[in-house]
Amino acid sequence: MDALILFIIFGSIFGSVVAGRYLKYRHAERMKELEAGPAADPKQLKALSEAKSELEERVRHLEAIVCNVDFELNAKLNRLATRHLALESVLPALPAGPSLAQRSEGIVAETERMLAGTVRPGQVIAGRFEILRLLGAGGMGAVYLAQDRQLGEQIALKVIAGLGLTDPAAAERLRREASAARRISNSNVVRLHDLGEEGGLLFLSMEYVDGESLHQLLTRAGVLTTGQLRPLAAQICDGLAAAHSAGVIHRDLKPANILITRASRVKVIDFGIARLTHAEGMTSTGMVIGTAEYMAPEQIRGGPIDARTDIYSLGVILYQALTGRPPFVGETPIAVSLAHCTEPAPPPSTHRSDLPKPWEDLILRALAKDPRQRFQSMNELRAALPVSPDDPTALAEPHPLQAQPTSRL
């Protein structure tokens, strides 16, 4: 049902794009007719020109929305198809006449098995990586804690799983992640070791981070103090500055892709949709990829991107870390994306009255719609991170993660 609704919405918006393009074309033709006429009316030409500009802006917004609906639709269909495959495989294996509860439990278990992939604890991959336990799984991949017998240490092993096993694009994304991350040498970026394939299973081994993501931290803590956030923000800037120096733009910077060790060391991860600095924001099929809440306007529109695109995303993260919410929220990624493109970010003090003004000014500058008005590099943003002169203990303030006993990638 959800997929059907998305199809309907997509068709409606796509029809609006076509209609908008047609109107723009008719305006252009009418202007040519008037200009070629014996007595062109300057006022009418000006009115048509203004109307044409307005139509062009609306078409650009609608095209951006179509790209995001396409992305959301593909993700939804992927989840539905994965569960459909799970149903097909589990139902014939269930004993005759099981209760509804038993049948439901079997379906859930099989779905989780498919989402987790085909590897199991105790299994040895490529004669080297002994699987210890599952760390996390999604519709297209899974990450395991493994013992690297060659290095003699624990590592994280990312594998293609679920429908990703039959999707060449998922494999390409894993290869792209390896290629992008290998360009970067910085302690605030997760180290990658090897990319390999065995028996049709594509995997990527990387540094294991004993800690939790910024997303998990914010879910638990709600908001951070400026003293807690500043050292984390500085390390994020350092990691991304190294990436940008290597010619890599992250493009999907968000709290879930920022890991924090138990010693409060930041590690930026997941360069799976990263692009080199000369590339554009869209994929070769014209689809915008990223996470709507954290995407810069130029990325949503599918325009050229550079380091300032990641700066915008970091501005969203800082906003959320200090206020408990991102600057733009909505019921759908479409609504959020449109807000990023058209609405000014509400001042963070709207949601947190005690926020120091230097922090608010920094965040709003990072969130400027025009990249030319943002910080021009991560190093420039890092240098502007405020230190309150009346709070000399700010940087020594304990980080909430240090008290947590759990260990997660």
- HSE, CB side, 13 Å, CA atoms: give it for residue 248: 28
Q: What is the DSSP letter of 332?
A: S
What distance in Å separates the CA atoms of residue 209 and residue 132, rounded to the nearest whole number?
A: 15
Residue 391's CB is within 10 A of a number of other CB atoms, namely 13
133's CB contacts (< 8 A; 6+ apart) are 121, 144, 145
- HSE, CB side, 13 Å, CA atoms: give it for residue 91: 7
What six digits make up the tokens of 389? Answer: 């002169």
CA torsion 347-349-352-354 (nearest 10°) is 160
Q: For the sheet containing 192-198, what is the strand order? A: 124-125, 129-137, 141-148, 153-160, 201-207, 192-198
What distance in Å separates the CA atoms of residue 179 and residue 248, rounded to the nearest whole number?
A: 10
In the chain, count of helices (H) and strands (E)? 11, 11
Is 370 labeled as catalytic in the residue annotation? no
**Three-state secondary structure call for residue 121:** coil
What distance in Å separates the CA atoms of residue 251 and residue 110, rounded to the nearest whole number?
A: 33
CA torsion 125-128-131-137 (nearest 10°) is -60
Contact (CB, 8 A) for 304 and 322: no
Residue 406 Ramachandran class (φ > 0 left, ψ -120 to 50 alpha, else beta):
beta
What distance in Å separates the CA atoms of residue 289 and residue 284, rounded to the nearest whole number?
A: 11
What distance in Å separates the CA atoms of residue 235 and residue 381, rounded to the nearest whole number?
A: 12
Residue 105's CB is within 10 A of a number of other CB atoms, namely 14
Determine which one of 70, 238, 252, 310 is catalytic. 252
- HSE, CB side, 13 Å, CA atoms: give it for residue 367: 27
Residues with a catalytic annotation lie at 252
